[in-house]
Amino acid sequence: MEELLKFAPRPTGAGDMFQLLRDGQARTRADLAAITGQARSTIAARIDLLMSSGLIAPAGEASSTGGRPPVTFAFNPGARVVLAVDLGATHARLAVTDLASTVLAEVDAPLAIADGPERVLDWVAETGEKLIATTGRSTKDLVSVGVGLPGPVEHSTGHPINPPIMPAWDGADVPGLLSRHFDAAVLVDNDVNIMALGEHRSAWPEVSDMLFVKVATGIGSGIIADGALRRGAQGAAGDIGHIAVTSARDIPCRCGNLGCLEAVASGQAVANALSVGGLDAASSADVVALVRTGDLTASHAVRQAGRDIGSVLAACVSLLNPSMIVIGGILAEAGEHLIAGIREIVYQRSLPLATQHLRIVTSQTRGQAGVLGASALAIDHVLSPAAIDALIA
Amino acid sequence: MEELLKFAPRPTGAGDMFQLLRDGQARTRADLAAITGQARSTIAARIDLLMSSGLIAPAGEASSTGGRPPVTFAFNPGARVVLAVDLGATHARLAVTDLASTVLAEVDAPLAIADGPERVLDWVAETGEKLIATTGRSTKDLVSVGVGLPGPVEHSTGHPINPPIMPAWDGADVPGLLSRHFDAAVLVDNDVNIMALGEHRSAWPEVSDMLFVKVATGIGSGIIADGALRRGAQGAAGDIGHIAVTSARDIPCRCGNLGCLEAVASGQAVANALSVGGLDAASSADVVALVRTGDLTASHAVRQAGRDIGSVLAACVSLLNPSMIVIGGILAEAGEHLIAGIREIVYQRSLPLATQHLRIVTSQTRGQAGVLGASALAIDHVLSPAAIDALIA
């Protein structure tokens, strides 16, 4: 029998019915019976279960065609909270959101990821607990935690694997370490994947094929194909920073290869090149500041970085045929220079069929992309049909 | 109510139950009741419907724990047939398969795609009808037709769009034209997509992230991610033939750009280069023949083509993180030279995380990849839960 169960579609239960309500629209029992084709008595029992969990709540009365107007029900996103954690190399952003990813409280703080998983995650737990308290909720209301890390993460386990900028985290049991503090599910992913997810859900939910590109100290991307994040076989998909750039075959990269995109066009690479030229630029933020003061050398350097990124994105466009490329990360905040360079080469180097409906835009969620994506990751896990069925069982 | 129905999961019906049986395993009514959680009476009614359609058939008796042994039922792939059509620039392969993609009859023939859609599709219909007859079936048993075309196809309509080697087919209503001959659903896709699908289903169904690369007159690829073919926004995903090759910036391509992979490393490009060098090579097939006779110049040229293809595939590996790359198309038949060149550069240019579990192999389905994929495309459409429900309604 166990073998047979592999092929089983779960019987449609309360969790499935709940998915219908996640759009926030209020519906009557009769609406739900009509949609699902299930008996009124079944619907009523499931409504009761979901009501007692708090996940749905009465939402007023529907207009009546005569007689007593029927009661409507809707998703109640405030029933629980999730903690969204976006960890970078040198900073962190934490947010508490409701079950619709509405941010209830948020905090930015400097952080050294190099301090290692124990210290960093202890700090995350402590800060997260305080942040939850500021919203008037307690950790009892916390159902899940979503975490983005600045390195490759094995999707099935939530463990970082060979992360170049955080070697002390290699193989760390991030879900296990956070579970010592919270009685909640912990979901972990690469930071650029969660940014792609956050940008997609919040700004472009109707776009099915999208590439999100982060240009900051490093360069990476997250792939949305057929409406969902695609992580590849080991969770390393989107790692475009080490693709070779046609025009830069002799520039060494920290990965050991020559001419990698990241060695040529990242915020750090541009800062290094500018500082060799005598400008005061140690980081991506300095590059953005220089461009904003109108420095022409810096503007030209950012535009050239855009062209180099564009040469790699042209290949990505041929391969993936997205209808949208979203450029995020701090270097995207240097005005139009970066995106202008990207557009120039993508439109030049790609086939017309792939670019005729292609939009290349700047991130709408900016610094919030990561926490919004971490929130979405955490929510998707606990509101799946199977999870809901287990929750209310 | 219509608005509500957008969010509706179809009530689980006979079509859903049928999906369980598509693995070919025989099951009793009790097995199906246990798997689906549905009432025995519901199961019995659905079994009757599927039996009367012929899609399932009795499959003997299960072992009994006492009393009369229960009857088992299994998918009956011979209930209907599909026509699988793989059209190339200068040849065609047609196959008649059952509903499990087992080839019942097959034919290869020269064909000029340039003759245009009317003439070519009339020929396909005539040849297809004869081929069906050779299997002892008639077009009444035909439920669907799958067609692969050597150019970009808009997935939603099945119309070719701006196909470079078959301009007369631009916007042609391929499904409409074939429907004049057959009372069957017609599904159309790009030839490399159907090859990817055929290779995946037949040879590596357990691999969720795979890239199939065709190296023939042109170069293209098909992407399997999270277990399914990904076509991108306009159905143009996988079009790697016009990605720029780092080492070949000044070689003109027929697309108008410089240094495209196809202009450097396709079978035609290698043939051209060899014939300039005085060898008798007009086509990919000639190149393969030369390599097979042990010609060193030809072997070296194929290995170098492999390296150039490898430089583009290294970028694809970084972006998609597949666990397998399958090399197909006629040039893959030139022994180990092509794949050796590809492996050399992919392993050199990709990050260890992306290549540690990566296999690069030669196609197992070879010339049959296209018809097997066209068959799978056609079958998936008619055996979907909704299609089954409609069929037996």
Decide if B223 touches A, using CB distance below 8 A: yes
What's the rounded Cα separation, in Å, for the pair A330 and A266?
A: 10
Q: Which residues of chain B neighbour A323 with C-beta distances below 8 Å? A: 233-234
Q: What is the dihedral of CA B93, B96, B99, B102, to 10 degrees?
A: -70
Q: Does A160 touch chain B (CB under 8 A)?
A: no
Structure tokens at B114: 């340039």
pLDDT tens-digit map of A58-72:
988 877 777 788 889
**Residue B204 phi, psi (nearest 5):** -135, 55
Residue range A266-274: mean pLDDT, rounded: 95
3-state helix, strand, coil in chain B (%, to 5): 45, 20, 35
pLDDT of residue A33: 83
**Alpha carbons B177 and B301: distance in angstroms, whole number:** 42
What percent of chain A stands above pLDDT 90?
71
Tokens of A205: 């939910």
At residue A4 the predicted structure's pLDDT band, cuts being 50, 70 and 90, is very low
Task: Look at the domain A80-195+370-392 and name its fold.
Answer: Nucleotidyltransferase; domain 5 (3.30.420)
DSSP A189-254: EEHHHHHHHHHHHHH-TT-SSEEEEEESSSEEEEEEETTEEE--SSS-TT-GGGSBPTT-TT-B-T
Chain B contact set for A232 (CB, 8 A): 209, 225, 320-322, 354
Is A170 within 8 Å of chain B by CB?
Answer: no
Distance of CA A254 to the CA centre of its chain: 26
* Contacting residues of A for B20, CB less than 8 Å apart: 7-9
Residue B4: predicted pLDDT:
39
Q: pTM for the complete prediction? A: 0.92
Question: Minimal Cα–Cα distance from B336 to chain A, Å?
Answer: 25
Q: Closest approach of chain A CAs to the CA of B144, in angstroms?
A: 25
Beta carbons of A243 and B323 less than 8 Å apart? no
Complex-level ipTM: 0.91
**Which CATH number is B2-75 given?**
1.10.10.10
Four-way CATH pick for B205-363: 3.40.50.720, 3.30.420.40, 3.10.50.40, 3.90.650.10: 3.30.420.40
Can you point out the beta strands (E) in A241-371?
A: 324-328, 359-362
What average pLDDT does the structure give for chain A? 91
Q: Tell me the chain A residues in contact with residue B244 when contact means C-beta distances shorter than 8 Å.
A: 246, 311, 314-315, 349
d(CA B103, CA B168): 31
Cβ contact B180:B187 at 8 Å: no
Q: Per-residue pLDDT for chain B (393 aa), expressed as one digit of tens each?
A: 334 344 444 456 788 888 889 888 999 988 888 887 777 888 888 899 899 989 999 988 877 777 788 889 999 999 999 999 999 988 999 999 999 999 999 999 999 999 999 999 999 999 999 999 999 999 999 999 999 999 989 888 999 998 888 999 999 999 999 999 999 999 999 999 999 999 999 999 999 999 999 999 899 999 999 999 999 998 999 999 999 887 777 888 888 888 899 999 999 999 999 999 999 999 999 999 999 999 999 999 999 999 999 999 999 999 999 999 999 999 999 879 999 999 999 999 888 888 889 999 999 998 999 999 999 999 999 999 888 888 777
Q: Over the Cα atoms of chain A, what is R_g? A: 23
Domain with CATH 3.30.420.40 in chain B: 80-191+370-392, 205-363
Of A27-36, A314-323, B164-173, the one with minimum mean pLDDT is A27-36
Please give the sequence-ordered ranges of beta strands (E in DSSP) within chain B, or none if there are none. 27-28, 56-61, 71-75, 81-87, 91-97, 103-110, 142-149, 153-154, 159-160, 185-190, 210-215, 219-225, 228-230, 324-328, 359-362
pLDDT of residue B35: 80
Is B351 at the interface with chain A, CB within 8 A?
yes
Q: Is A353 on the interface with B (CB under 8 A)?
A: yes
Q: Which chain A residue has its CA at the smallest distance from B5's CA?
A: A35
Residues of chain A with CATH 3.30.420.40: 80-195+370-392, 205-363
* Closest-CA distance of chain B to residue A225, Å: 7
| Whole-number pLDDT of residue B37 | 73
* CB pair distance less than 8 Å for A319 and B238: yes
For residue A76 the two structure tokens come to 């109640």
Question: For residue A135, is pLDDT > 60?
Answer: yes
Please tell me the CATH superfamily of domain B80-191+370-392, with its number: ATPase, nucleotide binding domain (3.30.420.40)
The 10 Å Cβ neighbour count of residue B340 is 16
Nearest chain A alpha carbon to B3:
A35
Contact map slice: A 320-339 vs B, CB within 8 A: 320-323
Per the CB < 8 Å rule, is A36 touching B9?
yes
| Cβ atoms of B109 and B63 closer than 8 Å | no
Could you give the CA distance from residue B247 to residue B12 in angstroms, rounded to a whole number?
Answer: 55
Distance of CA B273 to the CA centre of its chain: 31
Interface check for A259 against chain B (CB to CB < 8 A): the answer is yes
Check if B279 contacts A (Cβ < 8 Å).
Answer: no
Which of B9, B323, B351 shows the shortest C-beta gap to A233?
A: B323
CB contact under 8 A, B232 and A242: no
Q: What is the pLDDT of residue A7?
A: 43
- Interface-testing mutation among B40, B234, B348, with chain A (most A C-beta atoms within 10 A): B234
The whole-number average pLDDT for the span A384-389 is: 86
For residue B121, the model assigns a pLDDT of 97
d(CA A231, CA B210): 12
CA distance readout (Å), B229 to A193, B86, B235: 21, 17, 10
Q: Which chain B residue's Cα is nearest to A235?
A: B321
d(C-alpha A361, C-alpha A357), whole Å? 13
Beta strand extents in A111-176 (DSSP E only): 142-149, 153-154, 159-160
| Contact: A232, B318; criterion CB under 8 Å | no
Q: Which regions of chain A carry the CATH code 1.10.10.10? A: 2-75
